[in-house]
Amino acid sequence: MNQGGFREHRFLAADDLQLYVRSYGLVRPTPAVPIICLPGLTRNSRDFHELAIFLSSPCGGGHTVFSLDYRGRGNSQRDDDKSHYSIAIETTDVIAACTHLGIDRAVFIGTSRGGLILHHLIGVAPGLIAGAVLNDIGPVIEIEGLLAIRDYLNKEPGEPTSWSMAPGCLKELHGADFPILGERDWLQMAKAVYRDEDGTPVPDFDVAIAQQLLGLTAETLLPDLWPQYGALSRMPLLVIRGEHSRLLSEGTVSEMCKRHSGTVAFTARGQGHAPLLHLDGPRQAVSAFVTAITTAAPS
């Protein structure tokens, strides 16, 4: 265990790109069921640091937790072929991570893009998923929310020029949707979003990923994923929606619960897209959900 409370692992994807994953807690041999955290579109494993520390602690259930950097994000290698920044390719990377780590079954926590990957993963490797937390994502994506993501990721200028500015810049962008956050929360978010380059905070992802959204308009037709959700709904599901989310509607969550009566729905009060899961409320909901699955799983 290093000073940060986690171990670092590097492995090769199917196309030999080097990828990165963190592990928290006691790395147990199978058949113990671990937790795998999948971040949002341009985010990385650091988004789950506080949650993983909690879930791996006795208070959080003492779980083994893994958190992945997709290709082009965080400590994973940037891809020269920008077309590889796709849900299909990133799903194969998740499978490669499980193979490298010796995981044949896990509870997955998917935030935004991570939840979309789970909708794809269920079709190609259904046996991997023991249960899923869908964090502010579902089979229907609201175009208003996606356009908001497009705009702030491709905003010019707007990035902080010093670390002292970074929390304030994020608060200016997202504060209206996250009134519950305090100064410490914005600082933690800055440390997750940015990497340090010679004392300057820089967004920690390949800019080509954000540029993929530039072709979106209000008239763009987004595919729904109800068939994939139907497959996911055969297993335990927790759906978390930010109270102020513009990406996942209350109507979609209601329909998700109708189509799968076993779905647990939770609203993260005072948060937008995507909720910080380590805050009071969401973290207890996640801990109770994953503990129920891992306790019931054969060992």
Q: Which domains does the chain have, with CATH numbers?
A: 7-142+223-296 (3.40.50.1820)
% pLDDT > 90, the chain: 89
Q: What is the C-alpha separation between 257 and 252, in angstroms, rounded?
A: 9
For residue 283, the model assigns a pLDDT of: 96
Pair of tokens at residue 89: 């390719």
For residue 156, the model assigns a pLDDT of: 66
Segment among 42-56, 75-89, 155-169, 214-228 with least mean pLDDT: 155-169
| Banded pLDDT at 29 (limits 50, 70, 90) | low
Arithmetic mean of pLDDT, 192-209: 95
Q: Across the chain, what does the average pLDDT equal?
A: 93
Arithmetic mean of pLDDT, 279-291: 96
pLDDT of residue 277 exceeding 50: yes
Q: What is the C-alpha separation between 68 and 85, in angstroms, rounded?
A: 15
Arithmetic mean of pLDDT, 84-102: 97
Which residue intervals of the chain are DSSP H helices? 49-56, 87-101, 113-124, 143-153, 166-174, 183-193, 207-211, 226-232, 250-259, 282-296
Contact in structure between 63 and 95 (CB atoms under 8 Å): no
Q: How distant, in Å, are the alpha carbons of 80, 81, 109, 168, 242 from that of 133?
A: 32, 30, 5, 30, 13
Q: What's the pTM?
A: 0.95
For residue 50, the model assigns a pLDDT of: 97
% pLDDT > 70, the chain: 95
For residue 297, the model assigns a pLDDT of: 60
In our burial notation (b when 16+ CB lie closer than 10 A, e otherwise), range 273-294 reads bbbbbbbebbbebbbebbbbbb
CB hemisphere CA count around 139 (13 angstroms): 19
pLDDT of residue 1 exceeding 50: no
Arithmetic mean of pLDDT, 158-184: 93
